[in-house]
Structure 1
Amino acid sequence: MSVFTTPVGPEAIDQVPHGHTAFRLDWGFLPRDVRALVEDRLGGPVVSAASQDSGFTPGFASVLTTAAGNQGFVKAASKAAQSEIAASYAEEARNLSLLGGGIPTPRLEWVHEDDAWVVLGFEAVAARQPRRPWTVEDLERALDLAEAIAAATESIPDGLDLKPIVEDLPQIVTGWDSVPTEWPHHTEAAALAAGMADLPHADRFAHSDLRDDNILFAVDGRTLACDWNWPALAPAWLDLVVLLVSAHGDGLDVEPLLARRDLTRDVDPEHVDTWLAALCGFMLSSRARPVPSTSPYLRTHASWYAEAAWSWLARRRGWG
């Protein structure tokens, strides 16, 4: 039977090459005027550019070092060639300006937008990303970050204009419609996912993209989240459970963490299962789409997360 009609488990799906999933523009391929703009902001000629090749988008993202030793992390996208990426970078700058300095993220130092390009300059943070497969120590630190984000965003700034996640991503609710009915417990899973629209306390801030490749463990002790392009309204515990899905897929026992973490210990288990079913359906519908040439590992990522979410959900529901 096809992988698209029956679960095979995350261990049967190729892992993405963590840290090497993005095909990005290199510094030398940016237009001369964009390079000149960046060098002016950094205070001198760039002598080295370390591309940050995690993630699943093709926009420019590099740590740049000048001849004087100044550093900055710069993201850039062309409005003509990469319109969606450029728009997401502009949205990230807007979101960060509204959220202010209280959130755990690298500092946004400057923004440039003209008719052709969007360019963002961040502080360069000496850091590493969580190791995969997850270790307990790295996972605990990442879960601390999810709780720090929830605490810092209890009050959502005016003007952020967030939509419920079920409106931003309708396939969170409808994803199972595109999954073959041969999938075991299809009816039950689809009914669970449909309950996303009625989850209580779904008016909180969610980062909505809190994966290992968007987390930095800084050498100065900070734990930071990157890529604030896609926040939405959802239960405050949503991001934390997504992290646990990936840890479950890597073989860790995540139930004790779910039971003792501040964000999740009092959450109705049925509500957690609702989110697991919704995430699984969303990823199953995503993996059936064509592979974009600019992000060759995107469908592998979706396929693996679908299997990891299903594996945990099936275990929790006793589906075998």
Structure 2
Amino acid sequence: MDQRPNGGPLAFNTMRLTWPDLPHRVRDRVADLAGAEVVNARGTTTGFGPGFAGIVDLANGTRVFVKATGEHEHPWSIGLARAELRANAALPETVPAPRLLWSDQGAWTLAGFECLEGASPSLPWSTSDLGRVFDALTDLARTPLTPGHALIPIVTSDTEFFTVWESFAKRPKQERLAAAARGGRWGEWALRHVDTFVAWECEAAAACAGGALVHGDLRADNVVIDTCGKAWMVDWPHATVGAPWLDLAFFLPSVEMQGGGSALEHFRSHPLGVSVGHRELRAVVTVLTGYFMLSSWQDAPEQIPRLREFQAAQAIPAARWLQALEPELAG
């Protein structure tokens, strides 16, 4: 598994399209939308999407961050690309997210975003970078939603997320055993406690309900620290409305995975986490553990070969967090 020293695995996809991979008509359309000829383009391999994503330099001296996803080339990912357009249109102006400058939804979904001057956090996480993200999460949770926004509640956005363990428990026994075998000792652990997890996850939907803006997929590769030290959040296709502490909880397994310290300790020391009840937190960590663990036992999706490794690495700190909340699960 590719990783930085003591920084955990990285979210990246070497199968991403490059600028030359895009059809000429798509490159020409980007230039039309941007209002100037493209003189240079530098793609990125961070993140898991297979489409093009990168910085495009324009003949008028400006830059734009461009995403291009083809309907026929990547039919499963076009939904996320279009969801990101809807989400960015609904974000309040004060949210630390790059502005959507233009878009096009034809056979290719194209988007041009404000180009941030900065970089992803260095890994393993530094105290300073982590503190900047924690401060940004506090501000995000307190940001009023835009009146008339189109974002939907998290409890209705992905109902399967709240029943991951129940769905697993209903599978035929041989299928459960074969899937769990991929998880080694953690698979054995999951099989021993699956009935308990099914009971706890029943409380997750109620725990997640709320009226705050939720990014829903925050991790290091979806953060940019700009040249002034401000933390920006990018890639918003999973944005929903829910409890104000959810992004903190969703974020922390990846933090622990990438050398940033204990998820449990960070949660309980953060202003958004101190007042969350034990049962609510247990329910959410239960579904987080199930999501990462059970997903990691599946075959990798086409054109995203690293995803399952990354999910497996997040499953371990999530499971340890659950064990810390309920010590009888240890061992």
Q: TM-score, normalised by structure 1?
A: 0.86
Cα distance change of structure 1 residues 208 and 251 upon mapping to structure 2, 3 Å threshold: closer
Aligned equivalent of 1:92? 84
Amino acid at match of 2:229: G
1:1-320 matched pairs, under 5 angstroms: 15-16=8-9, 18=10, 20-114=12-106, 116-152=107-143, 154-155=144-145, 157-165=147-155, 167-175=157-165, 177-178=167-168, 182-183=188-189, 184-199=192-207, 201-249=209-257, 250=259, 252-318=261-327, 319-320=329-330
Taking the aligned partners of 1:282 and 1:248, their CA distance within structure 2 comes to 17
Structure 1: runs of 5 or more not aligned: 1-13
Taking the aligned partners of 2:122 and 2:194, their CA distance within structure 1 comes to 34
User: Pairwise CA RMSD of aligned residues?
Assistant: 2.4
User: Secondary structure of 1:144's match?
Assistant: helix
User: Secondary structure of 2:202's match?
Assistant: helix
8 Å Cα contact 1:156-1:205 kept in structure 2: no
Amino acid at match of 2:322: L
User: Secondary structure of 2:142's match?
Assistant: helix
User: Secondary structure of 1:188's match?
Assistant: helix
Taking the aligned partners of 2:227 and 2:307, their CA distance within structure 1 comes to 29
Q: Deviations over 1:14-66 (max 9, x none)?
A: 943x2533521111121112211222344443232221211111011010113
8 Å Cα contact 2:214-2:241 kept in structure 1: yes
Which stretch shows the higher mean deviation, 99-108 or 52-61? 99-108
Shift of 1:132: 2.4
Cα distance change of structure 1 residues 68 and 200 upon mapping to structure 2, 3 Å threshold: closer
Taking the aligned partners of 1:149 and 1:259, their CA distance within structure 2 comes to 18
Q: Deviations over 1:143-166 (max 9, x none)?
A: 2222222222x4354241404346
Shift of 1:67: 4.3
User: Secondary structure of 1:173's match?
Assistant: helix
8 Å Cα contact 2:87-2:151 kept in structure 1: no
User: Secondary structure of 1:49's match?
Assistant: strand
Q: TM-score, normalised by structure 2?
A: 0.83
Shift of 1:202: 3.5
Q: Deviations over 1:101-159 (max 9, x none)?
A: 22110111111223x1211111111111122222222222112222222222x435424
Instruction: Give % identity.
Output: 27
Structure 2: runs of 5 or more not aligned: 1-6, 169-175, 181-186
Taking the aligned partners of 1:302 and 1:166, their CA distance within structure 2 comes to 23
8 Å Cα contact 2:163-2:287 kept in structure 1: yes
